[in-house]
Amino acid sequence: MAMRWKNTLKESEATPESAYLNRRQLMAGAAGMGLIGLPGIARAETLDPHPWEDITEYNNYYEFGTRKEDPAKNAHMLTTAQWSVKIDGLVERPGNYAFEDIMAKMTVEDRLYRFRCVEAWSMVIPWNGFELRDLLELAGVQSAAKYVAFETALRSDEMPGVAYPVLDWPYVEGLRLDEAVHPLTIMATGIYGKDIPNQNGAPLRLVIPWKYGFKSIKSVVRISLTDREPPTSWNKANAHEYGFYSNVNPEVDHRRWSQASERVIGGGLFSAKQPTQMFNGYGEEVASLYKGMDLAVHY
């Protein structure tokens, strides 16, 4: 049996859902939900607590608009009923998997993760979800598979942002297979024990905490196993600024700004910054995946 991931983050490092829970309630609830000791994100002791609104109203989901407030404003248009995920390519059991059937077979866990955006801001998010490798095992990965490709829903009648050529729609992403089956890699279905909001990627999104946030593709409708490195949306748009791997790395700057530090959401635009951690603080768990690679080249 494969080893399960063990979280080392403390509950005190979480961004609390202050819209629903006060600090005392959060501590009691975290113990009941198993949040204590789970993976984490930015140090809460350097920030004021983040409300639910910060997590759900400050995000990027360009299919609903390019401003931070656009996803929360427009994502209610997205219909998530009767959702399914097409799993194809190098798998033993290809097909359209209904979301309800997937959930009936998966083990949902609480995962408290650091979240680091390539735009140099961060927050801590308590996700609910299951390990991606369990879904891939359900489909049966063939031995020739080396990569996993993902695709977001594309619905022009529900997603006003796709009317603009910001990216080559639909949004696509990809991982190496060993990254995809790592215990830290999850498919998130909720936040704070509630169904994940549309603007955060309902009903099913990828979360890879050691990579920049744009790798964590939202509202997934297709997963394909392949033997070739798949195209990814931001890499197609600007390969010089967005590499395939996109690991959080304070030593490799974005072409237009430094990645050495980050602004924690909730502290204000001009709040003090904190140093960015290599692999977003998950180096002990994932650095071995990139042994021998020049991370300044394979960024």
Question: 162 and 70 in contact (C-beta within 8 Å)?
Answer: no
- Cβ burial of 287 (10 Å; 0-12, 13-18, 19+) is middle
Residue with tokens 């998010």: 125
Residue with tokens 């829903």: 153
Structure tokens at 7: 């979280």
Residue 237, phi then psi, degrees to nearest 5: -75, -35
Question: 237 and 167 in contact (C-beta within 8 Å)?
Answer: yes
Question: What are the binding residues for Mo-molybdopterin?
Answer: 59, 62-63, 117, 152, 200, 205, 216-218
HEC states along 122-181? EEEEEEEEEEHHHHHHHHCECCCCCEEEEEECCCCCCCHHHHCCCCCCCCEEEEEHHHHC
Question: 114 and 40 in contact (C-beta within 8 Å)?
Answer: yes
- Cβ burial of 226 (10 Å; 0-12, 13-18, 19+) is middle
Q: First and final CA of the chain: distance in angstroms?
A: 32
Residue with tokens 């997205």: 78
